[in-house]
Amino acid sequence: MKGLKNLWFVVLVILAMPLAINALAYINFDPVYGFLRLKQQAIATGFYLPAYYAHVLAAALILLIGIFQLHPTLGLRWRKFHRTLGKVYVGGVLFVSAPGALVMSFFINRGPLVLSSFVVQCTLWFVFTWLAYRHIRTGNIQAHRQWMLRSFALTLAAITLRLYVFVSSWSFDLGQPEAYATIAWLSWLPNLLICEWYLNVRRKQVVAT
């Protein structure tokens, strides 16, 4: 079991590093760099660009921190470091990345199904992270871990969305609202369902012992 957890850790790092490096490339703050050249109309509103930088740059850090926090042994060995990184993760989600992503949602222009997917995802991401923080403040470690896992399941949408887009682009026209809406919902909803399945299995194991 420990070996499987370590394998998942390595896989997540391999998937997350290129995404994080690409996101950090936007530190040049060039409003026509990369993806931003396609969003000039949204940038002209004055709302999109600050939200984009807030979400993308913070999310890169949050993703890497979350992976480290869930390592089967590292977080337990370095508890003070674990707490410090946890504060950065929580603050980054609540005050930077989730609000930025929510603002960005209203500039996607892919139809109501896509908009509703990202709005629900951002809202749940904020709520789950806040609940994880509230429970650790009251000393409920078990509840804290459960809500943090749910939060990180949504953080992983940064990876799963891009994987689905990459694979689907071979066979589907993602310019169609229905196709992109499907990808949008699949980017986070299965993550959350798998997380709930895992938590349910763990609860049954605890009861059995």
Domain locations along the chain: 2-208
pLDDT digit string, tens, across residues 93-117: 999 999 999 999 999 988 899 999 9
- Predicted pLDDT of residue 9: 81
Q: Do 124 and 153 contact (CB within 8 A), yes or no? A: no
Q: Count of residues for the chain?
A: 209
pLDDT digit string, tens, across residues 162-189: 898 888 877 766 667 788 899 999 999 9
Give the Cα separation of 13 and 164 in Å (integer): 18
The CA-atom distances, in angstroms, between 95 and each of 82, 98, 194 are 20, 7, 27
- Residue type at 157 in one-letter notation: A
Q: What is the pTM of this model?
A: 0.91
Cite the DSSP H helix spans in 36-188.
40-43, 48-69, 74-77, 79-92, 98-105, 112-137, 141-155, 157-168, 177-186
CB neighbour burial string for 121-146, b if at least 16 within 10 angstroms, e if fewer:
bbebbbbbbbbbbebbeeeeeeebbb
Residue 70, both tokens: 């869930």
